[in-house]
C-alpha cells in the first residue's frame, strides 16, 4: 500500500487564523505537486496553498469559511511521488478584471473599422461555466499551475474546457486567453450559447500543409458573420423572377450607358427593385434595438452591396438609392466596388446600411443562403440568371431568362408569410421593372 501523506498549512509569515474562501480538491482527485488545494484570504492578500505531493486525495479536512493556522491538516494524499522542497505559497496582487482581459483579448480587433466592429467590442463575455470547483470538478485531470488556475478562476473560465498546448498537456496563460477569444467570437448578443474552442490539430501529421494567416478584413468580417449567424434566427425564402424583359431593356441601354462611361449590370435594377419592396414592406427596413424589445423603422434607403475583394468580403453602403437614377447608381457602384478592392474604403462607407444585396450572379451557382448582415433584418442573395422553359397557362412553354433569388431574414422580426410576400412582390417588380415607378 502506498504511503499516506498529510498536507498541512505551512508557515505563512505574519499570517495566522486565515479564512478559507475556496476548497479546490475533493476525495478521489489525482493531484500533482504544486497544484492548489485551497485558497485563503486575509485582509491583505489571497493565497493559494499548493500541495507538496503528487497523489490521490483520500480525505479533505477543511471547508470553506473555516479559519486555519500553521499546522492545520488540509488533506491526506495517497502518495505517488514525494517532493523534497518546501512548497512556494503564491501571494497575488488583485487579479485582472474581466474588462481588462476582454480588452486584452480583443486588442487586435481594436482598429476602428466598421460599425459592426464597434459593436463587436461591446460584446459581453458569454456566461461561462461556474468556478465552483466542488460542483464542476470533472474526472479529467487538469495540468495547470496555481497562477493559471487563479487566472482562470478570476475570469470565470472552467479549465475543463480549455485546450492545453503546454508541455505534457499543461494549460498555459495563452490557452486561457485563446479560450476567452473563442468564446467572445461565438458570443451571442443575448442568451446562453457558449461554444467551446476548436481543438488544436497538427494537420501536418496527415500530409504536407502550408499556413496562410487570415487578412485583417477576413478576421473582422469573420467575427461579424459568426455573431450574426449565432445570434439571428435565420430563415431563407427562395423565389425567382423572369428577367427576360429587364434584360432586353438593359441591353437596349447599353450603348447609351457606354457613352456616359458606365456599365449597367442587373445589380442596379435589383437595388431599385429592393427599395420598392422596402417601401411596400417597411418592417424589412428596420433594426431591433439592443434590448431586442423595440423595432427601429428607417425612413431612408441605404443599400449595402457585398463586394468580393482580394482581402476578403466588404459591404460598402450606397446611400439614398431611392433618390438616384440607374446611371448614377451604376457609376457609384463601380467606383465604390473599386475603392473596396483597392482597400480605400473609410469606416463611414460601410455604415448605415438598411438592407444588403449579395450578388454572385456574375460568377455562377444556382442559389445560396446569405447570412443576414445584423443589425439589418434581411439580405437578398442573387444568383446567376439562366434560360429556362417556363410553362404557360395554355400548356405551351416559352424560353425565359430566370433569376434565382434568396431572401434570408431575421425570424424574430419577420414572419414566414411576410418573407414570401416580400419575395413575390420583388419578383413582380423585377419581372416588370416599370413597377418601380408606381
CB of 170 to ligand CAO, least distance (A): 39
Among 154-162, 166-174, 188-196, 302-310, which window interacts with ligand CAO (CB under 6 A)? Answer: 302-310
Beta bridge mates, 161: none
3-state secondary structure of 405: strand
Provide the minimum distance between the beta carbon of 370 and ligand CAO in the complex, in angstroms, as a whole number: 6
Q: 393-412: which residues touch ligand CAO (CB under 6 A)? A: 403
SS (H, E, C) 167-207: HHHEECHHHHHHHHHHHHHHCCCCCCCCCCCCCCCCHHHCC
Looking at the DSSP bridge assignments, the partners of residue 401 are 387
Contact call for residue 177 and ligand CAO (CB under 6 A):
no
> Residue from 265, 351, 367, 424 that binds ligand CAO (CB under 6 A)?
265
Closer residue to ligand CAO, CB minimum distance, 37 or 114: 114
Nearer to ligand CAO, 385 or 407 (CB): 385
Report the residue from 74, 306, 374, 407 that binds ligand CAO according to the rule CB under 6 A: 306
| Closest-CA residue to 284 (of 427, 435, 424, 419) | 419
Task: Please confirm, yes or no, whether 137 is among the known catalytic residues.
Answer: no
Sole binder of ligand CAO in the list 128, 313, 390, 420 (CB under 6 A): 313
Kindly tell me which residue out of 337, 350, 377, 413 binds ligand CAO, with binding defined by CB under 6 A.
Answer: 337
- Based on the shown chain and the rule CB under 6 A, indicate whether residue 362 belongs to the binding site for ligand CAO: yes
Q: How far is residue 96 from each of residues 150, 378, 392, measured CA to CA in Å?
A: 10, 40, 70
Spatial CA neighbour of 176 closest among 227, 111, 104, 88? 104
Residue with smallest beta-carbon separation from ligand CAO: 361
Beta strands 46-50 and 67-68: pairing type?
A: unpaired
The window from 55-63, 151-159, 264-272, 275-283 that contacts ligand CAO (CB under 6 A) reads: 264-272
- Residues 9-48 touching ligand CAO, rule: CB under 6 A, are none
266 binds ligand CAO (CB under 6 A): yes
Query: Between 317 and 382, whose beta carbon lies closer to ligand CAO?
Result: 382
245 binds ligand CAO, rule: CB under 6 A = no
Choose among 193, 221, 232, 194: nearest CA to 109: 221
Q: Which is nearer to ligand CAO, 126 or 361 (CB)?
A: 361
Q: Which of 115, 245, 308, 432 binds ligand CAO (CB under 6 A)?
A: 308
Pairing of strands 355-359, 303-305: parallel
Pair type for strands 143-144 and 170-171: parallel
Any residues with CB less than 8 A from the CB of 25 and at least 6 apart, and which? 31, 35, 37, 38, 51, 57, 60, 75, 133
Nearest distance from C-beta of residue 403 to ligand CAO, angstroms = 6
Stretch that binds ligand CAO, among 37-45, 177-185, 210-218, 354-362 (CB under 6 A): 354-362
Nearer to ligand CAO, 102 or 268 (CB): 268
Examine residue 267 and tell whether it contacts ligand CAO (CB under 6 A): yes
Cell numbers of 396, please?
405551351
CB within 8 Å of 436: residues ≥ 6 apart? 272, 273, 276, 429
- Asked if residue 33 lies in contact with residue 81, where contact means CB atoms within 8 angstroms, the answer is yes
**According to the binding rule CB under 6 A, does residue 305 interact with ligand CAO?**
yes
| Cβ 227 to ligand CAO shortest distance, Å | 15
Find where cell 497575488 sits.
92
The set of catalytic residues is: 411
> Which stretches of the chain bind ligand CAO, using CB under 6 A?
265-267, 305-308, 313, 337, 358-362, 382, 384-385, 403
Amino acid at each position: 500500500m502506498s504511503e499516506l501523506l498529510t498536507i498541512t498549512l505551512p508557515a505563512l509569515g505574519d499570517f495566522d487564523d486565515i479564512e478559507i474562501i475556496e476548497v479546490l480538491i475533493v476525495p478521489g482527485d489525482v493531484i500533482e505537486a504544486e497544484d492548489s488545494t485551497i485558497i485563503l484570504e486575509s485582509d491583505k492578500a489571497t493565497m493559494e496553498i499548493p500541495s507538496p505531493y503528487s497523489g490521490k486525495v483520500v480525505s479533505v479536512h477543511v471547508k470553506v469559511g473555516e479559519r486555519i493556522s500553521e499546522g492545520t491538516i488540509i488533506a491526506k494524499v495517497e502518495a505517488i511521488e514525494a517532493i523534497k522542497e518546501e512548497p512556494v505559497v503564491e501571494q497575488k496582487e488583485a487579479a485582472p478584471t474581466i474588462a481588462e482581459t476582454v480588452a486584452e483579448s480583443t486588442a487586435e480587433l481594436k482598429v476602428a473599422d466598421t460599425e459592426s466592429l464597434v459593436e463587436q467590442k461591446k460584446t459581453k463575455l458569454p456566461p461561462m461555466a461556474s468556478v465552483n470547483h466542488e460542483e464542476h470538478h470533472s474526472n479529467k485531470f487538469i495540468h495547470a499551475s496555481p497562477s493559471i488556475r487563479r487566472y482562470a478562476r478570476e475570469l470565470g473560465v472552467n479549465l475543463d474546457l480549455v485546450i492545453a498546448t503546454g508541455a505534457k498537456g499543461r494549460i498555459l496563460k495563452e490557452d486561457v486567453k485563446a479560450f476567452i477569444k473563442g468564446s467572445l467570437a461565438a458570443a451571442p448578443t443575448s442568451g446562453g450559447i457558449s461554444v467551446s474552442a476548436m481543438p488544436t490539430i497538427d494537420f501536418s501529421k496527415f500530409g504536407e500543409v502550408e499556413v496562410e494567416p487570415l487578412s485583417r478584413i477576413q478576421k473582422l468580417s469573420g467575427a461579424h458573420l459568426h455573431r450574426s449567424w449565432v445570434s439571428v434566427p435565420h430563415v431563407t425564402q427562395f423565389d425567382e423572377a423572369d428577367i427576360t424583359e429587364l434584360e432586353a431593356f438593359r441591353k437596349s441601354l447599353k450603348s447609351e450607358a457606354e457613352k456616359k462611361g458606365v456599365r449597367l449590370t442587373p445589380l442596379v435594377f435589383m437595388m431599385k427593385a429592393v427599395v420598392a419592396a422596402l417601401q411596400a414592406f417597411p418592417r424589412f427596413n428596420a433594426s431591433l434595438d439592443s434590448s431586442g424589445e423595440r423595432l427601429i423603422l428607417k425612413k431612408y434607403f441605404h443599400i449595402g452591396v457585398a463586394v468580393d475583394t482580394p482581402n476578403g468580403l466588404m459591404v460598402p453602403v450606397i446611400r439614398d438609392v431611392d433618390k438616384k437614377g440607374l446611371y448614377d447608381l451604376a457609376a457609384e457602384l463601380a467606383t465604390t466596388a473599386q475603392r473596396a478592392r483597392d482597400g480605400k474604403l473609410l469606416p463611414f462607407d460601410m455604415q448605415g446600411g438598411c438592407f444588403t444585396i449579395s450578388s454572385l450572379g456574375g460568377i455562377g451557382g444556382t442559389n445560396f443562403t446569405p447570412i443576414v448582415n445584423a443589425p439589418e433584418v434581411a439580405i437578398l442573395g442573387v444568383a446567376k440568371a439562366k434560360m429556362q422553359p417556363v410553362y404557360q397557362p395554355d400548356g405551351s412553354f416559352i424560353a425565359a431568362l430566370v433569376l434565382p433569388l434568396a431572401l434570408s431574414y431575421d425570424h424574430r422580426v419577420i414572419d414566414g408569410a411576410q418573407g414570401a410576400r416580400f419575395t413575390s412582390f420583388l419578383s413582380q417588380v423585377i419581372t416588370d421593372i416599370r413597377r418601380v415607378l408606381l
